[in-house]
Structure formats: C-alpha cells, structure tokens
Amino acid sequence: MNLGPFAFSTALIALLFGLVAGLGTAGFLRKRGWPDAGNALYLALGGGLLLARVAYVIGWRHQYLEQPLSMLDLRDGGFDPVAGLLGLALATALLAWRSASLRKALVASVAAGVLGWGFATLAAHLLRDATRQSLPAMTLRDLDGHEVPLPSLAGKPMVVNLWATWCGPCRREMPVLVEAQRRLPQVRFVFVNQGEDAATVADYLRDEGLAPRHVLIDGNHDLSTRFGVRGYPTTLFLGADGTVRDRAMGELSRATLAERLRRIAPQPAGTALNPPDAASPRY
C-alpha cells in the first residue's frame, strides 16, 4: 500500500491502525478520569507480537532451520495472526489481573485496537479483491534481446519478482527464489529487472553463480508503474489465469515464500509447498 512517496505492507498498515485506535481509546478514557492504559497497551501488544512470531517460526520451522538467524529477522513479516490475538488476550488478562485499577480501561483499549485492526485488515482484503489486476499485455526482452510477451508466460501459477542489482534485499532473496524455481517446476518464476540493461544483469548473475530462467529486462519500469510499485524487491503471486492473487514488498524468507506459494499453487506430495508441519524437501 502506497501513502504518498512511501510504501507499506497492508499488514503493517492494519497493525498501526489498530494501535492508533487502541491508544485513541486509552486517551479518550484518560481525559474522563480513567487510569492511563497506554503503557499497558504497548506491553499487551508486545506479548501478542511475540507469540505471533514464535508460532509462525514453529509452524514453518523446516524452512527457518535452513537459515536459523532468519528467525530473528522480523522484516520478512512472518507472524501468525491467530496466535497473535491469543497472545494479546493472555497478556491483557495478566496485566488486568495484576492491576485492577487499569482493568476496564485496558480491556476497552485492547478491544478498540482489535476492532480497528480487524476493520483495516478486512478493508485491505476487499480492496485488493475489487482491484485485482492481471498480467498486462506487455512485451519485454530477455538477456539475449529476444522479445517475450508476458501473456505467453501464463498458464501455470506464477511468481513475478521485480528487482534490481543495486538493491540489497533483492540480492539477499535472489538465491532463495532461484532455488525455489529449481525445486518447483509447477510454478513459473519470472525475474523482471527494473531499470538496468541486460549486460549489467548478466554480469551480476554470473558473478553470483546464479542461473535463473525467465530473466527479463524492464528498462522503463513499466511493470512497476502498472502495479504501483514504489520499493524493491516486490513480488507478485499470480494464479494460472494470470491474475494477481497476492503481493509482497520486501525481502522474502524461505518461510514467507513457501506460505505465499501455498495460496496460488497446488501442493503435490514431497514438495516444499506441503503444510508447514510436513517433513518435506526444503528450499
């Protein structure tokens, strides 16, 4: 989601919306003589986020164990919302039990925050469904200069990665995507470089020892303009019909990539698209 020149994930926007709603309620009640529940609200939120992260990491533990330090990298956006709500409820109950004077104000503030988060999340999903875009009838060139019409790539679930060689997060996630492309032939991975020439891209891939298929050059940022992309990497997840079902802004970890792939692709036995608790090959 873009706000002026800045780009934010819808999950972060929803979380901030809920926090503002909760803090607004706490401030409103404080002005009417109720105890200030603002600090307690932050503690409850922290408890919810902690449990949400722990539950997500446990659920996708096979992917995270490939790179254990990635468990600590919250930038991948890996949080379990159900576990987060449970953690928020437990933290709120504990804080309310320890401070009876804060009980009503804290519960009211948390309830307002949850409602605000839920409303923002639902609105984002409805907006995304109402404005769902398809792969445009656009022609780009591959590294050898051959024209590639984008519609010709449709026909199976597709991952379109918008990236650049100067982008640090793009460089870090590239091996993850290339390995996924090798392991998952039922999904078409397309790497669309933004704003650079073929020689620069080819030199980078050769120096890094990477050989992905379907590398295209978008020198004029046409795809970024079409999909309103303001930051890289941005990854589009399309169904077999060529319609965008999901998108991710920022670096994907093995776990968050696997989670999003499950939303667009079938899950044949013995692949990394199996449920997170299955013992399957990992990428």
pLDDT-derived band at 266, boundaries 50, 70, 90: low
Token digits of residue 123: 């609105």
* Cα 108 to Cα 90: distance, rounded to the nearest angstrom: 15
Tell me the pLDDT tens digit for each residue of 13-41: 899 999 999 999 999 999 999 999 999 99
Over pLDDT 90: what percentage of the chain?
64
- pLDDT score, position 131: 63
Over pLDDT 70: what percentage of the chain?
89
**Domain boundary assignment for the chain:** 2-130, 139-261
* Strand ranges, E, within 164-258: 188-194, 215-218, 234-238, 244-249
30-to-27, 37, 106, 152, 281 alpha-carbon distances in Å? 5, 8, 11, 60, 54
Better-predicted residue by pLDDT, 65 or 217: 217
Token digits of residue 173: 């996630």
| 160: nearest Cα among 203, 84, 223 | 223
Token digits of residue 25: 């309620």
| 164: nearest Cα among 66, 232, 110 | 232
**DSSP code at position 274:** S
Q: What is the pTM of this model?
A: 0.76
- pLDDT score, position 268: 46
Tell me the pLDDT tens digit for each residue of 54-99: 999 998 888 888 778 888 887 788 899 999 999 999 999 999 999 9
pLDDT-derived band at 8, boundaries 50, 70, 90: low
| 255: nearest Cα among 234, 283, 232, 278 | 283
Token digits of residue 233: 């990497």
The answer to whether the Cα torsion of 109, 113, 116, 119 is positive or negative is negative
Tell me the pLDDT tens digit for each residue of 218-252: 999 999 999 888 889 999 999 988 889 888 888 89
- Tell me the fold of 139-261: Glutaredoxin (3.40.30)
* Cα 109 to Cα 16: distance, rounded to the nearest angstrom: 14
The answer to whether the Cα torsion of 116, 117, 122, 123 is positive or negative is positive
> 282 and 68 in contact (C-beta within 8 Å)?
no
162 burial class (0-12, 13-18, 19+ CB within 10 angstroms)?
A: buried
